[in-house]
Structure 1
């Protein structure tokens, strides 16, 4: 490339000029302007894929330069020992040149500087014109792709890393597509701009560019993959930012692809690499892939800060992977990274939902910050409910009493869960004791709790106790549920106290609770099969008609069969034939009818 050869000649002349003098590593010299050889026509160096990406439609191949034209100027070795170039110093054009060429300096500009590189060699640098930077940025902010290419060709800047960096730094408001195109053009013209510094600035600028879209993101990813072939050009921070871009755009698979390319690019994952990738995958609910990334994070022990750890725990809990989230929590705890309280809430509740991890949720309550008990009612209540669900009633009761003594204050729901569990387990005395504790704290059992306690007594044949609880429930609640009345009617029928059962049904209607068809059906069957009281059964049939309910045909036939037996003046104890019982004969008559 002619610029490289010209620069080499210039460096030799400068080195020869200063070799005989003892000087500091940095020296300022004033030199006459050096003419610029004729540039190759812009059509030979224009890159047709300037604004393209592998993810876009295919572009035509680059034009091949004319071999004869491209080699029309060949610099010769300098003559003499003073390092004077062979060309005429006064024969030069007045076109503006950017960094990399020595041009006529304005009167108020700084002279050429010679900087030592630390090994004795010296590099010539020139101050980059701010006006030229502004011009290039203005062009990049402009309109169509062809217009931008044409305008840049007219400026014909000699590109360098410093020039490219300054353009990118000043590119606020430039679209990501144009920024990437500018850098790709710079790479075509000057290999030295391929540096980690320039790429890091490019990625950050594209990320903050206006109207960032998937096209720009994939263009940038294609460029990164191309430069990643050379180890040392890319960095971990740069790749993290690219994953963050794909996370922002909801392109989880692309972000995951970047994560899997780190080793190939000579980079190592850090805490942010894991965090950004997990979040990107989470945006598309790719929980299994996210967990594979998380496993690598736990394996190396490189965790992000406590807030980000909390987000990861919450993410896995929402994805029904509370057990996996618990492993993240344990690692964070080992490294003294306590997740936020809200994340701990998510984790405990998530573990409590699964029967196999309820005990883990119970253990985690010990880690709950004591100063945050006022926010913990829901979390503790979830554990109480789960312990009752898995029939660990004693642990649930113990936890409830601990909440009463030291907090957080249990609500109605927590009491009801434990009282119900005790009642179903036959621990009625303990259930009543908890009801009294509940009332002493200004709370009251709900209708369902009263119903469960009543059911426990009714199953044991203790109908007086069941009725006492029923009366207490009426005092506490204005309207009871049909199930509450049903417990009493079924209990009285079981004890063959049918008059009391019918009284409860009447009271039920008076209190505005309408029995359903199933309630009527079971009561009629009990009256016919046990009491042989078809008259009361027919009265219930009439009530059903008035209420618009329909009784099953088999039950209607049963009422008719009982009435027929009474009309035949046959006693139930006489209706025994062989191995047939009264109930079987009635059923047969009902089927015939």
Structure 2
């Protein structure tokens, strides 16, 4: 019965608990790892004298003892005390005899067959609290003159390392010097576990990774760099992101250490932080680091550059993306098109659309609508108040938008009224009335069904071009489709007649508008007043001004001011001007000083002429 407690005592002195075991090629060490990953002994036993271990290294070379079958055949016994077992082992067990642990004798014993095994509950339930350092103890298998030796990190040193890493601003001297003093055994699994330790400042993690990089017995791998990048990118800290990028830049020239995924994470981090220039710097380093750009690399870069209004750089990234044939998913292609359109880069967005179309990739409907409307915007040149319409560019872009309308399938075309109307409006704006009229007829035949605004765009374009008969035909077509011409429709037609001096036809349209609508717009009266003033029929103009109140429209200061000026300058009728000034006062309006001075000047001039012409 002495074999079981003695064995347990010995086991607690030698077993090392570690999640970070160095991978070995020998079966002896792999068996050792199997047992280590299962048991968690007392941390205090790690500091047991190593003298016995050096003498009994062959203890770990018994494959049968550490086999999984032996583990499965044993059962735990909760009755024995771990401390009592340790004392019993110290007094009764003869450590000088290695034959005691003969594998055949041990496993043939009835003690283990009856359930009294080395894996009793006492072996797992140590009497001292386990330390966090126990999960970080690394083991490394080495060959020393043909004898396999397992080297392990001291748990106290590992615990000191974790405390040092988790400290912030409390370490005296260089952190690296403290790393050197610990004399740690580095391997990939150990370093990965350290990098995944919570509550460690980013600068400490980077310092540890930089120190590990300089160790001759440890080779930094892509996994280590990737783990470092992933850990630091979880925090939204600008300082940490830039520090990490400096470190990646430092090791990036060593081919293979930095992966595409790590660089993509950095771009995404800078995107979340709103640092477009830094993200573009990372994007430009892919080739230098020996990494291949993928669809995510292009998309994340374009996204952050557009968000920060670096549209020129964003289009450079787009060009590289198209050349490399690395289009992202359909939804992201649509977002790229929308981003460029928001930055007034509709032509560049159209190139992305055409390339996607050639690849049988059709962006979402909303992105296509937005692109067509952007191509139909008026383009201006210059800055501030000196901006002028760029008609040549307008003609080019609206032609692109007109071609895109043909790409709508039948179902989507029926509801695409907004993009069709925007193209129709742009064609009328650039005075391409012929194509606008043809597009309107296509909409009537194939959809989407045009509304009042679509008809009004074409009617307005025709009246500006002087084609009044065609404008009236479109108005009649509008009525046949069950649409009611609105005040804007009548005002546009009246304006066309007034420009040509055909005030009789304009008044006929005005009478029809009064029948159809109980309240007209100020622009309707303004059109008639201006037309009569051009013909110097000021009496009719004054009558129209008087009718405004009858139809619920209050004359504005502008209406009175322009009419008074016209009367004074063209007919010199200061009396009519003064009457209008009095009406303004009754309506709560005050005539500006310059126009009042004009009335006084005309009055003085007229009275002076009368005095000169009268006989002496």
Q: Normalized against structure 1, the TM-score is what?
A: 0.68
Aligned counterpart in structure 1 of residue 290 of structure 2, from 266, 274, 285: 266
Which residue number corresponds to residue 204 of structure 1? 230
1:508 maps to 2:548: yes
Query: Residues 28 and 114 of structure 1 are in contact (CA less than 8 Å); yes or no, is this contact kept in structure 2?
Result: no
Comparing 474-483 and 256-265, the one that deviates more: 474-483
Deviations 1:489-539 (A, max 9, x none): 333344455443332222123334344455445545665676676554443
CA 1:568 to 1:230, structure 2 compared with 1: closer, same or farther past 3 Å? closer
1:486 maps to 2:526: yes
Which residue number corresponds to residue 358 of structure 2? 334
CA 1:310 to 1:233, structure 2 compared with 1: closer, same or farther past 3 Å? same
Comparing 263-272 and 379-388, the one that deviates more: 263-272
What is the SS of the residue equivalent to 1:391?
A: coil
Query: Residues 186 and 217 of structure 2 are in contact (CA less than 8 Å); yes or no, is this contact kept in structure 1?
Result: no
Query: Residues 498 and 506 of structure 2 are in contact (CA less than 8 Å); yes or no, is this contact kept in structure 1?
Result: yes
CA 1:133 to 1:309, structure 2 compared with 1: closer, same or farther past 3 Å? farther
Which residue number corresponds to residue 164 of structure 1? 191
CA 1:155 to 1:388, structure 2 compared with 1: closer, same or farther past 3 Å? same
1:337 CA drift (Å)? 1.9
C-alpha distance in 1, partners of 2:557/2:54? 112
Please show how residues 342-381 of structure 1 align to structure 2 within 5 Å: 342-353=366-377, 354=379, 355=394, 356-373=396-413, 376-381=416-421
CA 1:527 to 1:279, structure 2 compared with 1: closer, same or farther past 3 Å? closer
Aligned counterpart in structure 2 of residue 431 of structure 1, from 471, 475, 481: 471
Deviations 1:414-472 (A, max 9, x none): 22222111111112222223233334445444433322210212233332321121123
Query: Residues 537 and 559 of structure 1 are in contact (CA less than 8 Å); yes or no, is this contact kept in structure 2?
Result: no
C-alpha distance in 2, partners of 1:427/1:553? 42
CA RMSD of aligned residues (A): 4.1
1:373 CA drift (Å)? 3.9
Deviations 1:313-371 (A, max 9, x none): 11111111111111121222222222222221221122111314111111111123443
Comparing 492-501 and 279-288, the one that deviates more: 492-501
Which residue number corresponds to residue 314 of structure 2? 290
Query: Residues 203 and 240 of structure 2 are in contact (CA less than 8 Å); yes or no, is this contact kept in structure 1?
Result: yes
Which residue number corresponds to residue 322 of structure 1? 346
Which residue number corresponds to residue 429 of structure 2? 389
Which residue number corresponds to residue 93 of structure 2? none
1:275 CA drift (Å)? 1.8
Which residue number corresponds to residue 584 of structure 1? none
Query: Residues 424 and 436 of structure 2 are in contact (CA less than 8 Å); yes or no, is this contact kept in structure 1?
Result: yes
1:237 CA drift (Å)? 2.2
Aligned counterpart in structure 1 of residue 602 of structure 2, from 536, 558, 572: 558
C-alpha distance in 2, partners of 1:318/1:124? 67
Aligned counterpart in structure 2 of residue 406 of structure 1, from 434, 437, 446: 446
1:28 maps to 2:27: yes
CA 1:274 to 1:146, structure 2 compared with 1: closer, same or farther past 3 Å? same
What is the SS of the residue equivalent to 1:192?
A: coil
What is the SS of the residue equivalent to 2:450?
A: coil
C-alpha distance in 2, partners of 1:383/1:133? 73
What is the SS of the residue equivalent to 2:27?
A: strand
CA 1:175 to 1:458, structure 2 compared with 1: closer, same or farther past 3 Å? same
Which residue number corresponds to residue 111 of structure 2? none
C-alpha distance in 1, partners of 2:430/2:416? 22
CA 1:135 to 1:448, structure 2 compared with 1: closer, same or farther past 3 Å? farther
Query: Residues 205 and 228 of structure 2 are in contact (CA less than 8 Å); yes or no, is this contact kept in structure 1?
Result: yes
Aligned counterpart in structure 1 of residue 515 of structure 2, from 465, 475, 480: 475
How many residue pairs end up in the alignment? 468
C-alpha distance in 1, partners of 2:599/2:480? 48
1:549 maps to 2:576: no
Please show how residues 582-593 of structure 1 align to structure 2 within 5 Å: none
CA 1:257 to 1:191, structure 2 compared with 1: closer, same or farther past 3 Å? farther
CA 1:224 to 1:459, structure 2 compared with 1: closer, same or farther past 3 Å? closer
Comparing 146-155 and 371-380, the one that deviates more: 146-155
CA 1:451 to 1:543, structure 2 compared with 1: closer, same or farther past 3 Å? same
Query: Residues 568 and 598 of structure 2 are in contact (CA less than 8 Å); yes or no, is this contact kept in structure 1?
Result: no
1:422 maps to 2:421: no
C-alpha distance in 2, partners of 1:88/1:489? 113
1:479 CA drift (Å)? 2.9
Structure 2, unaligned runs of 5 or more = 1-23, 33-51, 58-117, 124-138, 380-393
CA 1:544 to 1:172, structure 2 compared with 1: closer, same or farther past 3 Å? same
Aligned counterpart in structure 2 of residue 180 of structure 1, from 206, 213, 234: 206
Which residue number corresponds to residue 455 of structure 1? 495
1:128 CA drift (Å)? 9.5
Structure 1, unaligned runs of 5 or more = 1-24, 34-86, 93-106, 116-121, 571-593
Comparing 256-265 and 438-447, the one that deviates more: 438-447
CA 1:559 to 1:455, structure 2 compared with 1: closer, same or farther past 3 Å? farther
Query: Residues 29 and 113 of structure 1 are in contact (CA less than 8 Å); yes or no, is this contact kept in structure 2?
Result: no
Deviations 1:216-262 (A, max 9, x none): 21222122122223222122222222222111211222222222222
Which residue number corresponds to residue 573 of structure 1? none
CA 1:261 to 1:123, structure 2 compared with 1: closer, same or farther past 3 Å? farther
C-alpha distance in 2, partners of 1:212/1:255? 15
Comparing 390-399 and 178-187, the one that deviates more: 178-187
What is the SS of the residue equivalent to 2:254?
A: coil
C-alpha distance in 2, partners of 1:32/1:526? 108
C-alpha distance in 1, partners of 2:426/2:164? 62
Which residue number corresponds to residue 227 of structure 1? 251
Query: Residues 348 and 361 of structure 1 are in contact (CA less than 8 Å); yes or no, is this contact kept in structure 2?
Result: yes
C-alpha distance in 2, partners of 1:533/1:26? 113
